[in-house]
Amino acid sequence: MKPANPAQAGWRADEWLAGEQARGPICVLSDLDGTLLEYADWPDEVLPSPRLIGMLNRLHDTLDGAFAIVSGRGMRSLDVLLRGFIGIRAALHGAEMRHPGLDLGEPAADLRPLSAGARRVLHDYLLTMPQLHLEDKGACAALHHDLPGPDADRVERELARLLAPNRELQVFQGRKIIEIRPSAANKGAAAQRILARPAFANRLPVCLGDDVTDIDLLDAVKAAGGVAIAVGPRLSAHADFCLPSVAAAVRWLSTLQAVQEIARREQDGT
């Protein structure tokens, strides 16, 4: 039985790094906030270190480009946050996708800005709940909060009821956030699209995520025969392994990059 405490399960993820799969051809898809970056009260307050960006770029190069960040952030926010990152970035839960300097074609989903009716519902509701802070992402929206669990559950139910006429929209609760997104925007579909790209072919997919928006990502990677890793306890039921924290996840990816680099040199005979 899988331990409930990710700190107890972390050794299993480290043990995997010592096995043959970690030395073979792999590709990596990772969430960002809560997985590689600590959460902040507001998304703009998050700032990755140059050291983290450097490690992600080394991993990208070692995997011959088979590395992608899949985030719920909008593309503009993601571009600012990941300035200097050379890999694929998927925004709005994978509905928008781009590689720096390379046009990946049409968006993954036919997304339009939230309708005037949906925006009016959110505007009116926010007037009654000043403790909620709106992040407008265009086709999606996020309500950031610091509410206790029962109050956040109530807000989620009320918004789901109020937005029910907008059948294409989903309302769900993450960590200190309530997301409103089109059903077409989900990280599982994004994972399938990314894994179909030539750079990711014939590789074992590995993914990391921490919150409910990452369940589709973890499930899609497992369905493709890959390895799903939960950061923190929330997604342990959906993961093969757990890591206890953001810092542990960053260290794990850094070690993976080193293992892959050594295997690559041995294969090349250098």
CB 220 within 8 A of CB 187: yes
At 252, list the tokens: 């794990």
Q: CA angle, 40 as apex, 61 and 88 as ends, to 5°?
A: 25
> Which string of b and e fits 136-153 if b means at least 16 CB within 10 Å?
ebbbbbbbbbebeeeebe
- Active-site residue, selected from the candidate residues 31, 33, 211, 240: 31
**What CA–CA distances, in Å, run from 168 to 112, 113, 114, 136, 185?**
11, 12, 10, 17, 10
Phi, psi (5° rounding) for residue 63? -90, 15
CB 226 within 8 A of CB 206: yes
Residue 41 annotated in active site: no
- Residues in CB range of 105: below 8 A, 6 or more apart: none
Q: Residue 154 belongs to what H/E stretch? A: helix 149-162
- Residues in CB range of 192: below 8 A, 6 or more apart: 220, 224
User: Shortest CA distance to 188 belongs to which of 168, 160, 212, 163?
Assistant: 212
At 250, list the tokens: 């960053």
How far apart (Å, rounded) are the C-alpha atoms in residues 197 and 69? 14
List residues with catalytic annotation. 31
